[in-house]
Amino acid sequence: MVTFDHVREILELTINKESKILVIGCGNAPFSQDLYSNGYTNVVNIDTSEVVVSQQREKFPEMEWSVMDVREMDFEDGEFDLVVDKSVLDCLLCYSDAKINTLAMLKEVERVMRVDGMYMVVSLHSVEDVLRHVDNPSAFAWTVSSYRILNPRWDEGENSKRWDIL
């Protein structure tokens, strides 16, 4: 699981503490609370699960929590400095209409993000797989940079064996 500590340095180098942050597919992971605890207090969280949003709203009332679909968000154009995606892209890639759903989400992310904003994707897919979707100059007016965050529990030798069984 990617934690705030994994992306702390990137955030500190690219955004300030007053930035307006949208966490899409927030779930019940501690990431949003960690952002808030580390001084990023202008955090808005969305998820499609009413149960999760209700639980998080009760636990962390200092942040904004909403039930919302990332493919059709109720925010103003250019409202956010940073949009954080912790595996929402991964989830949409599992849909039967993955290309349509992924494009709809990415267009919405681009719409709600400031022109000079940042979209941070945390994915279990390879960097190349993610770039195939987000690095499309004909579809998106953004510049793409990629960083690989290695999970400290990843064992290259052990995990490479799992492909032998497929």
- What is this structure's pTM? 0.87
Q: What is the pLDDT of residues 8-37, one digit of tens each?
A: 988 999 899 999 999 999 999 999 999 999
Strand order of the β-sheet with 113-122 is 64-67, 43-47, 21-24, 80-86, 113-122
Coil vs helix vs strand at 98: helix
Q: What is the pLDDT of residues 123-133, one digit of tens each?
A: 887 788 888 88
- Which is nearest to 26 in space by CA: 77, 82, 72, 88? 88
Task: Please name each of the domains of the chain with its CATH number.
Answer: 4-165 (3.40.50.150)
**Which two three-digit tokens encode residue 136?**
């499309």
**Whole-angstrom distance, CA of residue 71 vs CA of residue 101:** 7
